[in-house]
Amino acid sequence: MKAAIVATGSELISGLVQDSNSKFLAKNLNDLGFQLENIFICGDEKDNIKNTILKAAENSDLVFITGGLGPTKDDQTKEAFAEAMDLELIYSKEIENKLKNIFCNHQSNMTSNNLSQAYFPAGAEIIDNNRGTAPALKVETKNKRFYLLPGVPSELKYLFKKKIELELLNMTKNKILVKEFNFIGIGESTLAAKIEELNFHSALEISYQAGRAEVKLRLKIDDSKISDQKQKNELINKAAAKIKNQFENLIYGEGQEDILDKVHSLLISKKLSIATAESFTGGLIAERLTEKGGSSQYFLGSIVAYQQKIKEDLLNIGSDFFKNHSVVSEECVTKMAENAAEIFNSDLVVATTGAAGPSAHNGKTAGTMYLALNYKGEINCFKFSKNYGRKMNRFYASQIALFEIYKMIKESGENNA
Amino acid sequence: MKAAIVATGSELISGLVQDSNSKFLAKNLNDLGFQLENIFICGDEKDNIKNTILKAAENSDLVFITGGLGPTKDDQTKEAFAEAMDLELIYSKEIENKLKNIFCNHQSNMTSNNLSQAYFPAGAEIIDNNRGTAPALKVETKNKRFYLLPGVPSELKYLFKKKIELELLNMTKNKILVKEFNFIGIGESTLAAKIEELNFHSALEISYQAGRAEVKLRLKIDDSKISDQKQKNELINKAAAKIKNQFENLIYGEGQEDILDKVHSLLISKKLSIATAESFTGGLIAERLTEKGGSSQYFLGSIVAYQQKIKEDLLNIGSDFFKNHSVVSEECVTKMAENAAEIFNSDLVVATTGAAGPSAHNGKTAGTMYLALNYKGEINCFKFSKNYGRKMNRFYASQIALFEIYKMIKESGENNA
């Protein structure tokens, strides 16, 4: 079934705002099995919106139209749509009441402007918008289905996920099978090459999405190649099991899971405390470990020892140490992790030292990075030589740090997580 | 003059990749005085590209087409364009030579695939792509001008800025006057309300773009209202001067300038050292101060004292202090800034304490934030009560910190910056 998207708004056409709504809808429509043909973006003028809707409807059975549903004179989507589809705009008392209810729930006053929102293309079905004042609409006409959604991304996403997705699933009659795995510590192309070697069935669509220092692998069944639901289930479950088994050490979670969420929950459930001693990451790991509300349950503090002298003075390493060891070395990062655990009296310490780039540091090329994890006295060291540029080098190290914290706690034998 | 954009690529239509090229082109075309009517996005299939190009060309004098110019079988934009415009694809020996030169310059081998790139719609003018292998094209046909550009964002931006922008400026015969000011410490709507009060000439278009804890204000002349170039100059310069004067304390720079760049350059040129003592910002200010290569010229280190005990032990505040003072107080942040300067022996210290949110902390509501700046013994304190959510509260504080560091050094009487 073919679908199209029309995004309206002068802020989109002037290039001031990125149209993220269409990307969201496109991804979700594809996942649901629709064939998205086009995305059309236009400004606020009624005639342009009307013509764009006509172009979009030409080849599609399902059209999403976003933006321009508010109560001000800029908001002309309903009028444009009604003209394009030869529908009357009618005033609906029922909808007025729904609107009044919405305003009442929002505890805000309704102005006469807002009453313009009670005009609807004939035959439209109102979709209550619990997140804003502009109601969304569903209209079936000319053998096509149209959804008119507000342009505010949070409202649009909410309405799509809570009120529309399910009925679209019924529309396609597909039961979409998708599995997603999240990887840290392996690049997209390396992962793709290794997956290639596993010679999966040709009905298995495998795609990759590179995130920030992580990769999402996505398994999906190509419906044109297999139709039997049981076969589909088997195929995807077998493949998922194989991937999980093969890449156990590189997968931290599935789907929408986030490594920071996982570490956060684990530290809280295990009642562990953590501190960091950072050099080239400059406080980034501390910053990430305190990103979520409730982090004071585990995070104690950090010493960012950017200069050698600060390592000597605040991390008690002593200047003699550096006569024999580089600041960019396994010995140094180990010492940092050791001493910080004493200073903070924490269950866990993460320490880092390295050459963030762009230039070499202490004789070590940019991207030479050391990480140490001290878990109740047991210290593990990691060395990487990557160079994605200064900013990404630092972020990469913080990702690995979070992943290694996660693995270390998981493997520590306690089993209540 | 009317313009349209066609973005091609299955990764765009599947929602896996955000189409940032169109936003970039839209912004630049608007700045150059073109009236952008539509942005069209389509997949990789030749017929869809062809139909989309026809739709785009319907009402526009200038059409940008992006993506699908590579040497593989997915790349069908030239074929689709030639069919849409009834142009022959011809093999050009001259272009083959240009391609060979490009490959030679890139020090890479040319495959027979690449020779397909020597086929061009009749009449096309090649635009050398110094950043990639796919050359861009300019075609004038049917009284319209078309640009075919590669989809790789860095190549597209480079080609547009270096090879196309100037000839477009000649095309519109406009001399665009734009001034941009960057604000920190004031919200978009407050700023807009204050600007409104200044009653600027109606030919002055004023727009706002909210960034992360900053706002860009943009002045532009509406050409339909004034045509005389001297008048235009006067109008925009006068307005710019008035804004600069009125909001001196809230403007950190113009156009593409970045607060971090400015602080970075200033710290280096003044040969100043800096350290941080952070509580609710969790290391974010340290992390930002070490974001740029060369930051070791000024950044010494940080103590992230997230817990009261760490403030007592590592920042030498002593537990008695907290019998009389809250950890979220001006007294506490002042003490942190004072003691950290001794510990690090730095010219500057930034200290923070506060309730990042989402919940209250130490009796202070979420978003109560204290910041102290210690510049060679002179301490300035700032208090904010904002609540943009935990993550943005922290980032907001770091922006204010950078801006206040900038102002403090600028105002410190030394005049070599």
pLDDT tens digits along A214-269: 988 988 887 778 888 888 889 999 999 999 999 999 999 997 789 999 999 999 99
Same domain, A38 and A162: yes
Coil, helix or strand for A155? Answer: helix
Q: What pLDDT does residue A223 have? A: 73
From B16's Cα to the closest Cα of chain A, the distance in A is: 6
- The CATH number given to whatever domain includes residue A319 is 3.90.950.20
Complete DSSP assignment for A368-389: EEEEEEEETTEEEEEEEE--S-
Task: Give the total number of structural domains in chain B.
Answer: 3
Choose the final residue of a domain: A201, A234, A254: A254
Interface pTM, i.e. ipTM: 0.74
For B38, the closest of A24, A26, A41 (CB atoms) is A41
Could you tell me the pLDDT band of residue A291, with boundaries at 50, 70 and 90? very high
**CB < 8 Å to A301, chain B:** 303-307, 310, 314
Give yes or no for A72 touching B (CB within 8 A). Answer: no
What span, in angstroms and rounded, lies between the C-alpha atoms of A112 and A117?
Answer: 9
From B156's Cα to the closest Cα of chain A, the distance in A is: 16
- Contact residues for A85 (Cβ-Cβ < 8 A; gap 6+): A53, A121, A139, A141, A142, A146
Same domain, B278 and B199: no
Same domain, B147 and B26: yes
**Interhelix angle A77-84/A46-58, nearest 10 degrees:** 50
HEC per residue, A234-257 = HHHHHHHHHHHHHCHHHEEEECCC
- Contact residues for B162 (Cβ-Cβ < 8 A; gap 6+): none
What span, in angstroms and rounded, lies between the C-alpha atoms of A68 and A57?
Answer: 18
Question: Residue A30 belongs to what domain range?
Answer: 2-171
Indicate the DSSP class of residue A118: G
Same domain, A144 and A86: yes
Contact B302 A301 (CB under 8 A): no
Contact B38 A42 (CB under 8 A): yes
Same domain, A329 and A286: yes
Q: Does A140 score more than 80 pLDDT?
A: yes
Give yes or no for A48 touching B (CB within 8 A). Answer: yes
Contact A303 B306 (CB under 8 A): no
From A397's Cα to the closest Cα of chain B, the distance in A is: 13
Could you tell me the pLDDT band of residue B164, with boundaries at 50, 70 and 90? very high
What span, in angstroms and rounded, lies between the C-alpha atoms of B305 and A301?
Answer: 5
Coil, helix or strand for B117? Answer: helix
Q: Which of residues 361-390 of A touch B (CB under 8 A)?
A: 390
From A287's Cα to the closest Cα of chain B, the distance in A is: 5
The dihedral sign for the CA sequence A28, A34, A40, A44: negative
Choose the final residue of a domain: A199, A227, A254: A254
For B284, the closest of A18, A52, A287 (CB atoms) is A287
Contact A300 B282 (CB under 8 A): no
Residues B136-149 have a mean pLDDT of 95
Give yes or no for A402 touching B (CB within 8 A). Answer: no
Q: What pLDDT does residue B262 have? A: 96
Give yes or no for B271 touching A (CB within 8 A). Answer: no
Q: What pLDDT does residue A95 have? A: 72
**CB < 8 Å to A276, chain B:** 283, 304
Contact B18 A18 (CB under 8 A): yes
**Whose CA is closest to A349, among A318, A331, A371?**
A371
Same domain, B229 and B373: no
Give yes or no for B176 touching A (CB within 8 A). Answer: no
The model scores a pTM over 0.90: no
Give yes or no for B25 touching A (CB within 8 A). Answer: yes
Contact A314 B303 (CB under 8 A): yes
> What chain A residue is nearest to B20 in terms of C-alpha separation?
A18
Residues A293-313 have a mean pLDDT of 97
- The CATH number given to whatever domain includes residue B138 is 3.40.980.10
Residue A363 dihedral angles phi and psi, to the nearest 5°: 80, -5
Residues A287-304 have a mean pLDDT of 97
What span, in angstroms and rounded, lies between the C-alpha atoms of B397 and B358?
Answer: 15
**Interhelix angle B46-58/B77-84, nearest 10 degrees:** 50
**Whose CA is closest to A304, among A291, A289, A325?**
A289
Q: Does B112 score more than 90 pLDDT?
A: no
Strand order through the sheet with A215-221: A204-210, A215-221, A178-183, A251-254
- Computed on alpha carbons and rounded to an integer, the radius of gyration of chain B in Å comes to 28
CA distances to A129, A188, A364, B129 from A194, in Å: 45, 10, 31, 34
Q: How many other β-carbons are positioned within 10 Å of the β-carbon of residue A282? A: 27
For B52, the closest of A26, A38, A391 (CB atoms) is A38
What span, in angstroms and rounded, lies between the C-alpha atoms of B374 and B334?
Answer: 8
Rounded (5°) CA angle B386-B364-A274: 95
Q: What is the mean pLDDT of chain A?
A: 89
CA distances to B65, B91, B98, B113, B206 from B95, in Å: 20, 8, 5, 15, 45
pLDDT tens digits along B125-139: 988 877 766 789 999
**Whose CA is closest to B288, among A400, A282, A402?**
A282
Q: Element (H or E) spanning A51, and its range? A: helix A46-58
> What chain A residue is nearest to B284 in terms of C-alpha separation?
A287
Q: Does A64 score more than 90 pLDDT?
A: yes
State what percent of residues in chain B have pLDDT above 70.
93
Choose the final residue of a domain: B128, B151, B171: B171
Q: Does A110 score more than 80 pLDDT?
A: no
Same domain, B158 and B218: no
Same domain, A152 and A62: yes
Strands (DSSP E) contained in A184-337 are 204-210, 215-221, 251-254, 274-278, 299-305
Q: What pLDDT does residue B416 have? A: 45
Q: Which of A12, A273, A302 should one mutate to test binding to chain B, selecting the residue with the greatest count of B CBs within 10 A?
A: A302
Same domain, A28 and A155: yes
> What chain A residue is nearest to B392 in terms of C-alpha separation?
A291
Position A85, amino acid: M
From A251's Cα to the closest Cα of chain B, the distance in A is: 21
Burial A153-191 (b: 16+ CB within 10 A, else e): eebbbbbbeebbeeebeeebebeebebbbbbbbbebeeb
Same domain, B318 and B350: yes
pLDDT tens digits along B337-394: 999 999 999 999 999 999 998 888 888 999 999 999 999 999 999 999 988 889 989 9
Give yes or no for B10 touching A (CB within 8 A). Answer: no
CA distances to A123, A264, A288, B35, B375 from A407, in Å: 56, 13, 17, 55, 43
Give yes or no for B303 touching A (CB within 8 A). Answer: yes
Residues A79-105 have a mean pLDDT of 83
Contact B314 A20 (CB under 8 A): no
CB distance A47 to A81 below 8 Å: no
Q: Which of residues 208-267 of B touch A (CB under 8 A)?
A: 209
Could you tell me the pLDDT band of residue A417, with boundaries at 50, 70 and 90? very low
Residues A395-410 have a mean pLDDT of 96
Upper half-sphere CA count for residue A294 (Cβ side, 13 Å): 10
**CB < 8 Å to B306, chain A:** 286, 290, 295-296, 299-302
Q: What pLDDT does residue A416 have? A: 45
Give yes or no for B293 touching A (CB within 8 A). Answer: yes
What span, in angstroms and rounded, lies between the C-alpha atoms of B121 and B77?
Answer: 11
CA distances to A187, B72, B117, B127, B386 from B104, in Å: 30, 20, 15, 17, 58
Give yes or no for B357 touching A (CB within 8 A). Answer: yes
Alpha helices in B270-358 (DSSP H): 284-289, 308-314, 321-324, 330-344
Residues B6-24 have a mean pLDDT of 92
> What chain A residue is nearest to B59 in terms of C-alpha separation?
A48
pLDDT tens digits along A338-347: 999 999 999 9
From A97's Cα to the closest Cα of chain B, the distance in A is: 32
List the structure tokens of A189.
């192309």
- The CATH number given to whatever domain includes residue A226 is 3.30.70.2860
Give the total residue count for chain B.
417
Same domain, B185 and B114: no
Same domain, B243 and B212: yes
Q: What pLDDT does residue B395 have? A: 95
- Highest-pLDDT range among B94-98, B164-168, B397-401: B397-401
Q: Which of A34, A55, A287 should one mutate to test binding to chain B, selecting the residue with the greatest count of B CBs within 10 A?
A: A287
Give yes or no for A60 touching B (CB within 8 A). Answer: no
**CB < 8 Å to A295, chain B:** 282, 306
Contact A14 B26 (CB under 8 A): yes
